[in-house]
Amino acid sequence: MPNTKQNYNGFELKSPENVILMILLTVFLV
């Protein structure tokens, strides 16, 4: 879980498209 949060923050800084991908991954986890 903690790693996912860190990655999310990193992707958010990189570009919004990556944030969408992370959100999709979160949906799959849930």
Residue-wise pLDDT for 1-30, tens only, equals 455 555 555 545 556 777 788 888 888 877
Identify the pLDDT of residue 3. 53
- How many alpha carbons lie under 13 Å from residue 1 in its C-beta half-sphere? 1
Identify the pLDDT of residue 26. 86
Helix, strand, coil in percent for the chain, rounding step 5: 90, 0, 10
Question: By residue range, what is the domain housing residue 26?
Answer: 1-30
Identify the pLDDT of residue 1. 47
Residue corresponding to tokens 């949060």: 5
Task: State how many domains the chain has.
Answer: 1
